[in-house]
Amino acid sequence: MSGTSPGKCTVVVGCQWGDEGKGKVVDVLAADADVVARYQGGANAGHTVHAEGHEFVLHQIPSGILHPGKRCLLGNGVVVDLGQFFAEYDNLAERGLDPRGRLGVSARAHVVLPHHKVLDEETERVGGRKIGTTGRGIGPAYEDKAGRRGVRVGDLLDSRRALKAVAASVEWARSRLRVLGADPDLALPGDATLDLGDAGANLERLAEVATDVGAEIADALAAGREVLLEGAQGTALDVDHGTYPFVTSSSTTAGAAAAGVGIGPTTISAVTGVVKAYTTRVGNGPLPTAFDEKMDARVRRLGAEFGATTGRPRRCGWFDAVLARYSARVNGLTGIAVTKLDVLDTLPEIEVATAYRLDGESSSAFPPVAADLERVEPVYETLPGWQSPTSNARRKTDLPPNARAYLDRIEELAGAPILMVSVGTRRSQVIHWE
Ligand code: IMP
1 part of a folded domain: no
Task: Judge if 179 and 313 occupy the same domain.
Answer: no
- Residues 143-161 pLDDT 10s: 999 999 999 999 999 888 8
Q: Print the domain residue range for 332.
A: 274-432
Mean pLDDT of 295-299: 97
Are residues 224 and 348 both part of a single domain?
no
How far is 275 from 416, CA to CA, in rounded Å? 11
DSSP code string of 27-74: HHHGGG-SEEEE-SB-TT--EEEEETTEEEEESSS-GGGGSTT-EEEE
233 lines ligand 1 (CB under 6 A): yes
Q: Is residue 222 in some structural domain?
A: yes
Pocket flag, ligand 1, residue 274 (CB < 6 Å): no
- CATH number for the domain spanning 142: value is 1.10.300.10
- Amino acid 224: pLDDT: 97
Going by alpha carbons, the residue nearest to atom 15 of ligand 1 is 44
Count of the separate structural domains present in the chain? 3
Which residue, 171, 201, 231, sits at the end of a domain? 201
- How far is 199 from 191, CA to CA, in rounded Å? 13
CA distance linking residue 360 with residue 393, whole number of Å: 43
Find, among 235, 117, 211, 113, the residue nearest to 162 by Cα: 113
With 0-12 / 13-18 / 19 or more C-beta atoms within 10 angstroms meaning exposed / middle / buried, residue 119 is buried
Residues whose CB falls within 8 Å of the CB of residue 360, separated by 6 or more in sequence, listed in order: none
Q: How far is the CA of 287 from the centre of ligand 1 (A)?
A: 14
Query: Is the pLDDT score of 194 beyond 50?
Result: no
242 C-beta closer than 6 A to ligand 1: no
Ligand 1 nearest-atom number relative to CA 310 = 12
**What is the rounded average pLDDT of the residues 104-110?**
98
Last residue of a domain, one of 230, 250, 272: 272
The per-residue pLDDT for range 355-402, each reduced to its tens digit, is: 999 999 999 999 999 999 999 999 999 999 999 999 999 999 999 999
Q: Nearest CA to 315 among 265, 246, 379?
A: 246
The amino acid present at 244, given as its one-letter code, is: Y
C-beta 123 within 6 A of ligand 1: no
Active site members: 19, 47
Establish whether residue 27 lines the binding site of ligand 1, counting it when its CB lies within 6 angstroms of any ligand atom. Answer: no
- For residues 350 and 244, membership in a common domain is answered with no
Nearest residue by C-alpha to atom 10 in ligand 1: 283
Please tell me if the CB atom of residue 286 comes closer than 6 angstroms to any atom of ligand 1: no
> Mean pLDDT lowest for which of 186-200, 263-277, 285-299?
186-200
DSSP character string of 340-369 = -GGGGTT-SEEEEEEEEEETTEEE-S--SS
The answer on 88 and 19 residing in a single domain is: yes
Of 218, 245, 272, the one marking the end of a domain is 272
Residue pair 115/94 in contact by the 8 Å Cβ criterion: no
Q: Is the pLDDT of residue 193 over 90?
A: no
According to DSSP, the β-strands at 418-422 and 335-339 are parallel
More confident residue, 235 or 193: 235
Ligand 1 atom 20: the closest Cα is on which residue?
18
Rounded Cα gap, residues 434 and 432, in angstroms: 7
Ligand 1 atom nearest the C-alpha of 135 is: 3
Instruction: Tell whether 118 and 258 lie within a shared domain.
Output: no
Has residue 4 been placed in a domain? no
- Contacts (Cβ under 8 Å, ≥6 apart) of 337: 12, 21, 25, 272, 273, 274, 275, 418, 419, 420, 421, 422
The CATH number assigned to the domain holding 411 equals: 3.90.170.10
> What is the separation, in whole angstroms, between the first and last Cα of the chain?
21
What is each CA distance from 305 to 132, 270, 314, 342, 411, in whole angstroms? 16, 29, 5, 14, 24
pLDDT band at 191 (very low <50, low <70, confident <90, very high): low
- Give the CATH number, domain containing residue 28: 3.40.440.10
Same domain assignment for residues 16 and 141: no
Look at ligand 1, atom 8, and give the residue with the nearest C-alpha: 248
19 Cα–ligand 1 center, Å: 9
* Residue 222 contacts residue 4 (beta carbons within 8 Å): yes
The answer to whether residues 30 and 137 belong to one domain is: no
- Whether residue 306 lies inside any domain: the answer is yes
For ligand 1, the distance from its centroid to the CA atom of residue 265, given in whole angstroms, is 26
DSSP lists the bridge partners of residue 13 as 273
Q: Do 47 and 142 lie in a common domain?
A: no
